[in-house]
Amino acid sequence: MKKFNSVSDLVRELQPVNPVYCIRPESIKLACNFFVNNFPGKPLYAVKTNPHKNVIKHIYQNGITNFDVASLEEIKLVKSIAKDAKLYFMHTVKNRKSIEEAYFNFGIRDFSFDTKDELIKIFEATKDAKDLTLYLRIFVSNEHSEIDLSKKFGASPTEAINLIKLARPLVKKLGVSFHVGSQCMHPVSYSKGIKEIGNIILKSGITPDIINVGGGFPSKYPDLYPQPLENYMEEIKKAVNKLSLPKQPELICEPGRAIVAESGSTIVKIELRKKQSLYINDGTYGSLFDAGFPNFIFPTKVVDTGKDLSRRLTPFNFYGPTCDSMDFMKGPYMLPNNLKEGDYIEIGQLGSYGLTFRTKFNGFYSDDIFEIEDKPIMSVYQNEQDEEYKSNYLVA
């Protein structure tokens, strides 16, 4: 994969016609180091967030060697890159063939469930294996998160008590897990989830070997400034200590967005301007799905190509290249008011889900991907980046 010192260097050399996706290895390194050094347990990278081979490679090389996978294809992908990685099959609804192959062909012993039927399925597919570590996923509130995951997954408190009693004698190790939702904006969500596990322990009389606090750790966006990630770590530590258990359970987490969000960006080209609408060559059917629904506002800046830029900012919205009117990104995106056809814009914080959601609708698709050595537009790990962005740093 070709590397460039900066986005500006890339655009000047390539003059790309199609959208270009950028990966920043240094950003991945900083994020991995934070979780390895600050989370009071073992971090698992959630592969769904960004499954690009180079991203997986950099994460593994920077100390996160455990991966949260949700499908057989993700299992095959990670094992093709890092054969010694430990995988956790944490989707609570799996088909029997995937469970069987995961166990017998790939050596996976860690599985998630939230119903009796799924528990039975796991044992039947593994031929009543005696070396399983199973994680009961419980329902917790997602009230502080931008994307609610609680409607689809998680056993209710009553169901959880029955399931933990059923599973305990059958497994080598037992875990309890929850997920506070994607882009969680307040650390208290984690302490509430841990407190709910405490209630289950009290009512069932069973202490899990492992507590999995899931994902949901946030990144920064122009309209979403969470507390420092250190506060999330402290909240988790305090909540676990409050359980006052005779033996401290092992802790794991499943960060995705917080590991890779700021490592990725997309360079787009303006094809047409209609007043305050910019028609660009990528959109919601490409790497910008989250900009359409659920209307995430991503940081943007104009790429320096030698043009004099107005210091006056104006709000723009974006239309993508397809013929579907839903290919629309409301924004607002604050950019110089003299933009026109042919100008390039970098859209940041697309390391999470930007590559995952791409389609080939209408024939618009680009797989032009390069590694970049400059810093991301915004960062939870480099405070100077936020100050720069806040000061209207417009030119790459």
Task: Give pLDDT, residue 309.
Answer: 87
- Model confidence band, residue 392 (pLDDT cutoffs 50, 70, 90): low
CA distance 250 to 88: 15
CA distance 162 to 264: 43
pLDDT in tens, 267-307: 999 999 999 999 999 999 999 999 998 899 999 999 998 88
Check pLDDT > 60 for residue 396: no
Task: Give pLDDT, residue 382.
Answer: 87
Indicate the average pLDDT of the chain. Answer: 95
| Residue 39: both structure tokens together | 């989370």
Mean pLDDT over residues 319-337, rounded?
Answer: 97
CA distance 119 to 137: 11
First to last CA, the chain: 22
Identity (one letter) of the amino acid at 218? Answer: P
| Residue 149: both structure tokens together | 């995951």
pLDDT in tens, 81-117: 999 999 999 999 999 999 999 999 999 999 999 999 9
Domains of the chain: 3-22+261-390 (2.40.37.10), 25-260 (3.20.20.10)
Mean pLDDT over residues 313-338, rounded?
Answer: 97
- Model confidence band, residue 119 (pLDDT cutoffs 50, 70, 90): very high
Q: Strand, helix or coil at 278?
A: strand
Beta carbons of 346 and 303 less than 8 angstroms apart: yes
CA distance 136 to 154: 8
The β-bridge partners of 328 are 319
Check pLDDT > 60 for residue 394: no
- Cα 153 to Cα 109, 229, 244, 251: the distances in Å are 21, 25, 28, 20
DSSP codes of every residue in 316-376: EEEE-SSS-TT-EEEEEEEEETT--TT-EEEE-S-TTTTTTT---GGG----EEEEE-S--
Task: Give pLDDT, residue 389.
Answer: 66
pLDDT in tens, 22-63: 999 999 999 999 999 999 999 999 999 999 999 999 999 999
pLDDT in tens, 166-223: 999 999 999 999 999 999 999 999 999 999 999 999 999 999 999 999 999 999 999 9
pLDDT in tens, 122-143: 999 999 999 999 999 999 999 9
More confident residue, 48 or 150: 48
| Residue 168: both structure tokens together | 């305990």
